[in-house]
Amino acid sequence: MEKSGNIQMPSGLTPPLDRELDPFILTVFGASGDLTAKKLMPALYHLYLQEGMPKDFIILGCSRTPLSRESFLYQMHEAVRLHGRADMYRWTDFASRLYYFGLHYDDLGNFRDLAQFLRDLDQRHRMQGNRLFYLAVPAPLVPVIAANLGGSGLSREFEEGTGWARLLVEKPFGHDLESARELNRLLLGSFKENQIFRLDHYLAKETVQNILMFRFANAIFEPIWNRQYIEAVTITAAETIGIEKRAGYYEQAGVLRDMFQNHLMQLLALSALEPPALFQGTQVQDEKTKVFRSLQPFPVDEWPGSLVLGQYGPGLMDGEPVRGYREEPGVAPDSLTPTFGALRIFLDNWRWQGVPFTLVSGKRLAEKRTEIVVRFKSIPYSMFREVIREPLPANRLTLGIQPEEIVTLQFQAKKPGPVPELQSVTMVFDYRAGSGAPLDAYEKVLLACLQGDHLLFWRQDGLELCWAFLTPILKACETCTFRSERLQIYPAGSGGPEAAGRLGAESGGRRIDDR
């Protein structure tokens, strides 16, 4: 029987800002879309309530939809009311800072009109020429908008009365290595690298940030954080949802591009990197890049032994029948797009040589869970073998990211009583036990971008190294003669393909449906 003990976090309010922010104008492209309504505008309003915004700021919505300012304000009010988590008592003051500008994304003349509109707003509200552009638009529009921001002069910094100019771009960052490089070339045609912020919201989750704090602020873990003491690491990002209304994107992407190229690679880097000289953007990014450079080339000729791909079929979720992937609207009835992947990789460096890292992600699984499981090596010799016949379980450290933001450490202790008997004991740190001001992932990335801090964002060299590793795998999977035979169908609501369960178990993880 397993026991647990809770570790309490000290109380105390954590302010969202450690320094004053510059005034700015945030221009949101795609302001009439779902991302703005469900994520971005609620995050901005909550930041405002938490005093995470400067005294002077303006938010300008832009999209191709013709809207009056009044109509835009009403839509944003309803978006925050429905999708936000804060009281609306200060909405009127917040809304006074919202404006709208209808825009054709492919019309440079229209962007010049936008530039004049922004200059007028800047002079009227004394924004000091600081501009942040958020591209909440489909991927094909990103280079078009970036080019017109450059062509209209809006990307220029610190000249003719302007301040800083920053571009915040959502994933995906390309479809493979070649397209990622081409996207970067187009972005750099208008913006410098230090102006570009490539957003991966996973990096802003509290427990993801806590990985580095946990590793490098505690003397008891870092000395054993290596191949001498660690047997295997499993990183899991399991989802219960299907593809919802994203068939057009997902049929082109699949699980490897959607989850492995970005989220899971970032979790791998944070789990494996060397200690940076300082906890600052450039230094941390440098150490991540070293991890990506050490990725051992994948054995593409023998990939079935290190990669399991699956696709969800019909099944039950919470007792209710759900359709399979091929029955989803917009999906081809003979689609071979994977919705599940389990990938075992190795790092060729001194610290991790020979330690398997298994990355697992899938949709329509039994449980929503994102976690990093570190399995330590078993004890080299058991002095209890005469009285305890069963093998002793290895110590296991679990860094829970969502939905439970917890850190657990499992170890062995004697069970009370006269008989020498061991039991597994789990110490638990619940991140939510603290009383700091809660900010969600989008609030944190907005705050970091406003501060000019790249710590929570991708850097292009890291992106290209990850694509260089993953692109040969994608080509091998998508051109394989036996592609249909190697794609394993698993019932919705299960733990995924059985072969993936075996692959994960070998690396110290646990099945998705293990409760």
Structure tokens at 256: 């490897």
What is d(CA 454, CA 284) in angstroms, rounded to the nearest whole number?
9
What gap in Å lies between CA 400 and CA 357, rounded to an integer?
Answer: 17
**Residue 28 backbone phi and psi in degrees, to 5:** -105, 110
Q: How far is residue 490's CA from residue 478's CA, in Å, rounded to a whole number? A: 19
By the 10 Å C-beta count (0-12 exposed, 13-18 middle, 19+ buried), 387 is classed as exposed
Is residue 141 within 8 Å of 186, Cβ to Cβ? no
Q: Which residues contact 404 (CB under 8 A, 6 or more apart)?
A: none
Q: Which residues pair with 467 in a beta bridge?
A: none
DSSP structural state of residue 38: I
Write the CB contacts of 158 (distance below 8 Å, at least 6 apart in sequence).
164
Asked if residues 279 and 212 have their Cβ atoms less than 8 Å apart, the reply is: yes
Residue 418 buriedness (CB in 10 A; 0-12 / 13-18 / 19+): exposed
Q: How far apart are CA 242 and CA 244, in angstroms?
A: 5
- Determine how many CB atoms are found less than 10 A away from the CB of residue 2: 8
Sole residue written with tokens 């954080």? 225
DSSP state of 204: G
Residue tagged active-site, from 77, 175, 201, 263: 263
Q: Checking phi first, is residue 158 left (phi over 0); if not, alpha (psi -120 to 50) or beta?
A: left
Q: Is 201 one of the catalytic residues?
A: no
Q: What share of the chain is helix, strand, coil (3-state, %, to 5)?
A: 40, 25, 40
What residues does 359 pair with on adjacent strands? 235, 343
Q: Name the token pair of 352.
A: 């991790």
Distance CA 229, CA 374 (A): 10
Instruction: Report the phi/psi class of residue 24: left, alpha or beta, with left for phi > 0 and alpha for psi in -120 to 50.
Output: beta
Three-class SS state of 327 = helix
SS (H, E, C) 342-363: EEEECECCCCCCCCCEEEEEEC
Phi, psi of 423 (to 5 degrees): -140, 150
In the DSSP assignment, the letter for residue 262 is I
Q: Which residues contact 180 (CB under 8 A, 6 or more apart)?
A: 173, 174, 463, 464, 467
The residues that are catalytic are 263
